[in-house]
Amino acid sequence: RSPHPAAPPPATPPRDTEATEAPPLDHDIAGEDQPAPAGEPPPAPGKIPVEAVDAPDAPPPEAPVSPAAPTPLPPAVEPGPVAGIPRVPPPEAAEPAAVAPESRDDETDAAEPHAAALDSELAEILEDVPSTPISTIASRNAESYLDEGNVYFNVGQYGLAIERYNQAVSLDPSLVAAYYNRANALTRNGAYDEALADYDRALELAPGDADAFNNRGMLHLYRGDYKTALSDFDAALAIDSQDSTVIVNRGLALLHDARPADALKEFVRAITVEPRDAAAHYGAGQAAAALNDRGAALRHLSQAMTLDPAYSREAAADPRLVSLQGDDAFIRLLRDRGARQ
């Protein structure tokens, strides 16, 4: 995750069971077999690991609500070079297509093993999909549609996933996981209004769901509604005050709302909770640069690039770091870290 998302994060396994009203305290949960941290209640089974996604530099196309006009959402979820936050899988947006070089036989040969590996992985995952046409199965229940939707979600077939979640909701209107997972799939497809409605419904059914608050907050952030985004992040932190991903997202909302001093405090707070959070260090570097604190900016950016070298590419083209352009130490940092990738 990074304050400048550039590509969608990898699809994460959606929830496979209904969320309970007990607040989920561990955003890294991958399933119900993972033990909860000491002293915390066990998380809801099958919860999708929430990712921290940084706000784009411009509002998504045709976003109805956009008071401050942030920059548009880049492609979907992989927030920039670093995978790890959305928390909310942002919608897939098209990046400017790069001009393809002339075809070369050695490049084609190199790509074939990768394509074969993807085909093999896809075939293995799709083994879980019923081979019998859905229309001929007499006893389908909501959970079976939910499970099938999750399979499609995990291979990037969001339209098919949404169809299955629709079936699950029609059979069981109280199935929280279906609303939550459908909201994530709708977000990937750029259907913000529908996604917000599903997060609203999920929170009506499970008001203690911190991940849903966080994801809904990210959608408000994409639309430039920073006040509402902050409200949702505050609600998520009221459930789990030590969730560094949500703290980083709160810092991003403040940064995009032109409040760098407040944003810096949030990023430093996230670093205190999770010292190896690269996105928190990068955000702190951005905020410090906006405050013309060159030393702090370089220190945090260096740490971010050490934890995740991909941030060197991010920083090289980051408009929020314009105050560092031409700085010898910044140039050396970009060169040294970039050479290690």
Each residue's pLDDT tens digit in the chain (341 positions)? 333 333 333 334 466 654 444 333 333 323 333 344 444 443 333 344 344 444 434 444 443 333 343 333 333 333 333 223 334 444 444 333 333 333 333 443 444 555 555 556 555 655 555 443 444 444 589 999 999 999 999 999 999 999 999 999 999 999 999 999 999 999 999 999 999 999 999 999 999 999 999 999 999 999 999 999 999 999 999 999 999 999 999 999 999 999 999 999 999 999 999 999 999 999 999 999 999 999 999 999 999 999 999 999 999 999 999 999 999 999 999 998 875 65
Report the C-alpha gap between 152 and 156 in whole angstroms: 6
> How distant is the alpha carbon of residue 88 from its chain centre?
4
Residues 231 and 309 in one domain: no
Residues 1 and 149 in one domain: yes
Number of domains in the chain: 2
Same domain, 308 and 218: no
Q: By C-alpha distance, which of 89, 12, 13, 94 is closest to 53? A: 89
pTM, two decimal places: 0.64
Q: How many Cβ atoms sit within 10 Å of the Cβ of residue 171?
A: 16
At a CB cut-off of 8 Å and minimum separation 6, what does 74 contact? 4, 5, 6, 7, 56, 80, 93, 95
* Co-location of 228 and 271 in the same domain: no
Please give the pLDDT value at position 19. Answer: 44
In a domain, 251, yes or no: no
- 167 in the same domain as 65: yes
CA nearest 237: which of 225, 247, 229?
Answer: 247
Query: Half-sphere exposure (CA, 13 Å, Cβ side) for 315?
Result: 38
**CA-based nearest residue to 19, from 183, 234, 167, 160:** 183
- 319 within domain boundaries: yes
In a domain, 231, yes or no: yes
CA–chain centroid gap for 14, Å, is 13
Q: Are 271 and 280 a contacting pair, CB within 8 Å?
A: yes
pLDDT attached to residue 116: 58
Alpha carbon 261 to its chain's center:
24
Domain-terminating residue out of 208, 241, 274: 241
Domain shared by 158 and 216, yes or no: yes
Q: Which domain holds residue 284?
A: 259-341
Residues 235, 284 within the same domain: no
Per-residue confidence (pLDDT) for residue 15, from 0 to 100: 62
Instruction: Give how far Cα 311 sits from Cα of 68, 186, 253, 279, Å.
Output: 26, 28, 20, 9
Is 283 inside any structural domain? Answer: yes
CATH code for the domain in which residue 317 is found: 1.25.40
Which sign, positive or negative, has the C-alpha torsion 277, 76, 252, 194? negative
Domain C-terminal end among 188, 215, 241: 241
